[in-house]
Amino acid sequence: MKKKLPVFFVTFFLLFSAAAQEKCDAVFSADTLTPPGSSVALNGQSVETTLKNLSKVKLFKSDDDKLYLRLVVTENFYFNKVDVLELQSGTKSYYAKDTKQYKLSRSQGQFTIEIFRNYVWTLKELGVTAIVFGSSTTELTRQDTKEIKKIAACLFETIAEKK
């Protein structure tokens, strides 16, 4: 009986210390973002992840509670083309009409779209499995999808705190 008591306390301590840790690994940073079609920069906070193909996904929450998704892509370029951007999350899709791919450099293009709060939940649960723009599809790996889920969960926590 005496040997079981220390094991119980150690187990109890480990369970509580695990529960006390923050769920969000990502770090929010102060940032600015200029929405497409606007010349005014918004202040806010962002969280970002880099994918396997060196593309980047940034989720941005402005001070006036608008949400944006910024994709910096490294393949399938259509610089300055305006078309429908489809973000596939498993069997669900999010469509952003009249989206323009801006040229950042010879090897990078950028999309910036406004997203809705309910889509952040979809990102948290399903991530992004593919990006479709024009006639090109860019498939994302499971690891990339997992990274997007992580940063979306962090953003979702900050949205849920304000309610």
The Cα angle at residue 93 between residues 26 and 148, in degrees rounded to 5:
15
Per residue in 7-40, pLDDT (tens digit) is 554 454 444 444 433 467 778 899 999 988 888 9
pLDDT recorded at residue 36: 84
Q: What is the pTM of this model?
A: 0.81
pLDDT recorded at residue 129: 96
Per residue in 34-70, pLDDT (tens digit) is 988 888 999 999 999 999 999 999 999 999 999 999 9
Residue 95 sits at φ, ψ, to 5 deg, of: -110, 130
Give pairs for 48-54: CB < 8 Å, separation 24+: 48/151, 49/147, 49/148, 49/150, 49/151, 51/140, 51/141, 51/144, 51/147, 52/141, 52/143, 52/144
List the domains of the chain with CATH numbers.
Answer: 28-162 (2.60.40.1880)
How far is CA 120 from each of CA 42, 59, 78, 123, 124, rounded to the nearest angstrom? 19, 9, 26, 5, 6
pLDDT recorded at residue 20: 39
Q: Choose among 25, 110, 114: nearest CA to 64.
A: 114
pLDDT recorded at residue 163: 53
